[in-house]
Structure 1
Amino acid sequence: MIEKLKTSSILYIDDEIEILNNAVEFLSFYCKQVYAAKDGYEGLELYKKHKPDIIITDINMPKLNGLKMIRKIREEDKDTKIIIITAFIETKYLMEAVELGLLKYLQKPVSQISLLPVLKLCMHELFDKKSSFEIEKDLVYDLFNQSLFLTKNQVLLTKKELMFLDLLVKNHKRVVKYEELNMFVWNGLMSEDAMRSLVKELRRKLSKTAVKNISGIGYQINEYT
């Protein structure tokens, strides 16, 4: 299961810089990408920009604490796997953690060895329950390998098309807002023409009905049933 981490991204948030740096160094051996933030505000900005698969965050931090940050994320995203780390396990925090649908909590100090079983659990949640997503009959997106197949033949996508599709599939139960796509795919530098052109090309490669536009809001991927 650990090998699947090689395709995943993690956002690690902690205001203790030494702990943060050590965690990032360790996780970089296992993950495709590790993002680091030293407070909840910075963590929220990095989440919006990169849409990581897993978030590991401290609770007590300056500017914006971990639970308030998670609550903002959960307003739109119910699926990203989130782990909290805390020096003190308090009932009020645990109750709020349950409400926010967190995957796990760990008590400080968190050893590198204790992180691995939790990451394995994340991989199980991310991939084993559903490793592929069927957009339309015989049109399947492989979440693990980030590849698209039509009748078992791979459909070639550009980097931005793949990023766009991957974000939609991972959030298929909701409409992905224009602002999210702009930050994730174009790094905040998108033009309306660029997005329309990309969606037009994706529909050509998938089907005309695969990517649905919700006027004034964003896009949502079709799921074959």
Structure 2
Amino acid sequence: MLKDYKDIKVLYVEDDDVARENGVEYLENFFDKVFEASNAVKALQLYEQYKPQIIITDIQMPKINGLEFIKQIRQKDKKTQVIVITAFCNQEYLLKAIELQLVKYLIKPVNEKDFEEALMLCLNSLKEDSSNIIKFDEDSYFDIFNKTFVVKNEIIKLRAKEVLFLELLIKNKNRYVTYEEIESFVWFDSVMTKDALKTLVKNIKIKISKDIIDNLTNVGYKIAI
């Protein structure tokens, strides 16, 4: 439950005063330390001062947009969990967001269930995280930050959706990830079909040459690592 993580520090960045006030009020139900900023310049100052473990930010803001803000964070911090909440479903933004290792890209208006699920993904990742290198065995590993799969020191090329799928399963390795979660995280910019998902999983299994992805019918997928 979210209330089990009250000591986690959260930074909420939103230029709309009403939205920011509502967001902070909601987050304070679960976290003792919630910092707020109306623009990315102030957010960077707060980040340097408090080092929050979770950042929630809008994209369209004055001075510096949200993606540029996250990019500056990522240049020195690979572990802070980031959620983007925006009214814009822009293809260019979505592609840039993939490169910045977001936990979730949520489109306004965001319902409470989706928001809580995104927060739990962040918290689970923080709980599990000790390294960006996820070893599958002695000869192979997945580098979360560089988004590469390596076998015997050789980089195996993965497509964008394959990377997102592996990231999602690794972050939730102790449970089955539902089809709804997969569609939201991997097919955030389009509709997922069963055939497309099956093809994606098949291609990943071929590339990693390991039978570590398990499917539970009518539930979802789980990775065994």
Normalising TM by the smaller chain, what interval? 0.5 to 0.7
Letter in 2 for 1:96: K
In 1, Cα distance between the equivalents of 2:125 and 2:119? 10
What residue number does 2:25 align with?
Answer: 25
Q: Residue type of the partner of 1:69? A: F
Aligned residue in 2 for 1:118: 118
Which amino acid counterpart does residue 5 of structure 1 have in structure 2? Y
Q: Is 1:72 the equivalent of 2:72? A: yes
Measure, in 2, the Cα distance between the counterparts of 1:40 and 1:30: 24
Residue 141 of structure 2 is matched in structure 1 by none
Q: Distance in 2 between matches of 1:101 and 1:20?
A: 23
Q: TM-score, normalised by structure 1?
A: 0.55
Distance 1:101 1:117 in 2: 17
The count of residues paired between Structure 1 and Structure 2 equals: 131
Q: In the alignment, is residue 35 of structure 1 matched against residue 35 of structure 2?
A: yes
SS of alignment partner, residue 83 of structure 1: strand
Q: Measure the CA separation in 2 of the matches of 1:129 and 1:55.
A: 16
Indicate yes or no: 2:92 matched with 1:92: yes
Residue identity in the other structure for 2:65: N
Q: Could you say which residue in structure 2 is the equivalent of 1:54?
A: 54
> How far apart, in 2, do the equivalents of 1:124 and 1:71 lie?
23
**Match of 2:4, as an amino acid?**
K
Q: Which amino acid is 1:70 matched to?
A: I
Deviations, residues 108-153 of structure 1 (Å, cap 9, x unaligned): 12233431111111111011355xxxxxxxxxxxxxxxxxxxxxxx
Matched AA of 1:49: Q
Cα deviations across residues 70-124 of structure 1 (Å, max 9, x unaligned)?
1111110011000111111111111111111111110012233431111111111
Give the AA of the match of 1:19. Answer: A
Relative contact order (C-alpha < 8 Å, sep 6+): which is higher? 1
Select between 83-92 and 12-21 the one with higher mean Cα deviation.
83-92
Q: 1:7 offset after TM fit, Å? A: 1.8
Distance 1:80 1:123 in 2: 10
User: Secondary structure of 2:63's match?
Assistant: coil
Give distance in 2, aligned partners of 1:20 and 1:79.
24
Q: Structure 1 stretches (4+) deviating beyond 6 angstroms?
A: none
Distance 2:44 2:114 in 1: 25
- CA RMSD across the alignment: 1.6
Q: Any conservation in 2 of the 1:4–1:123 contact (CA below 8 Å)? A: no
Q: Which letter does structure 1 place at the counterpart of 2:22?
A: N
SS of the residue corresponding to residue 6 of structure 2 reads helix
Q: Look up the SS of the partner of 1:7 in the other structure.
A: coil
Matched, 1:3 2:3: yes
Instruction: Please give the per-residue CA displacement for 1:167-215, whole angstroms capped at 9, x wherever unaligned.
Output: xxxxxxxxxxxxxxxxxxxxxxxxxxxxxxxxxxxxxxxxxxxxxxxxx
